[in-house]
Amino acid sequence: MDLLQQAQALIGSQYAPLFTAAVTVLSLFPKLIAPLLSAFEAHDKHFVRKPLERLKALRSSVAKNPDLSHYLETSIELEAFRIASGVTTSRSKMEFLLALDKDGNWTKPQLRSLCRHLEVPEGSDKPEVVIGGFEKFAAIWSAVAAMTIGVVGALYFTVSVYQFNVGDFIIGVSAFAASIAFGRFIVSDFISYRLARRAQATLARRQTAR
């Protein structure tokens, strides 16, 4: 049975109401998403940027106190960095990430993920990329688990295709998509580990080039 015949069978079957509802929701999707986008914009304006505006207002009111002015300047920089990168961190770690980003090869999500591996060793004031034994174990486990979930989803999808049934095909596609999404969530530890290794290699090359 070709795809056209399967579509005709679907429209004339008990799945017809579900099919109609899905088409309706998809056609109304732009209108349904518009209020959500407006809410995100309002949240960004009134909640995300509000602390930065408050800090700037405080800075202008304490100009006669050099120490407090310097503290507020630092706070403004950190708040601006948080808005730009999504990372809430210390000044030393912020400067580390900014220095690492100078080559232009790092995205905002990558820097945010890398921040979890930054530590300031005792007796030092400079952050370092640290990968512990547990992080290595978690990375290996997440990679294996993600591949296993992906393979199981692919096998389920393959079996559903050979059932020659529209309902089974839809279930198979849904299961495969869910396995990919869940596998991507699980593999985040491995991705974070690889980014940390990449940062270590980048820093090592910079030290060698000096």
Q: One digit per residue, pLDDT tens: the chain, 210 residues?
A: 454 455 445 444 444 454 455 545 555 455 555 555 444 454 455 456 677 778 777 777 776 778 888 888 888 888 888 888 888 888 888 988 988 888 888 888 888 888 888 888 887 788 888 888 888 999 999 999 989 988 888 888 888 777 767 777 777 788 888 888 888 888 888 999 999 999 998 888 888 876
CA dihedral sign of residues 120, 117, 205, 111: negative
Give me 148's structure tokens.
Answer: 């296993």
In whole angstroms, give the CA distance from residue 46 to residue 193: 35
DSSP summary character for residue 122: T
In tens, the pLDDT along 129-158 reads 888 888 899 999 999 998 998 888 888 888
For the chain, domain boundaries: 27-85, 108-210
Are 118 and 99 spatial neighbours (Cβ–Cβ below 8 Å)? no
In whole angstroms, give the CA distance from residue 150 to residue 84: 34
In this structure, the strands spanning 128-129 and 118-119 are: antiparallel
Query: Roughly what angle, to the nearest 10 degrees, separates helices 133-161 and 166-186?
Result: 170
Q: End-to-end CA distance of the chain: give it in Å, rounded.
A: 67
Predicted confidence at residue 115, as pLDDT, reads 87
In whole angstroms, give the CA distance from residue 41 to residue 48: 10
In whole angstroms, give the CA distance from residue 47 to residue 72: 19
pTM: 0.66
In whole angstroms, give the CA distance from residue 55 to residue 50: 9
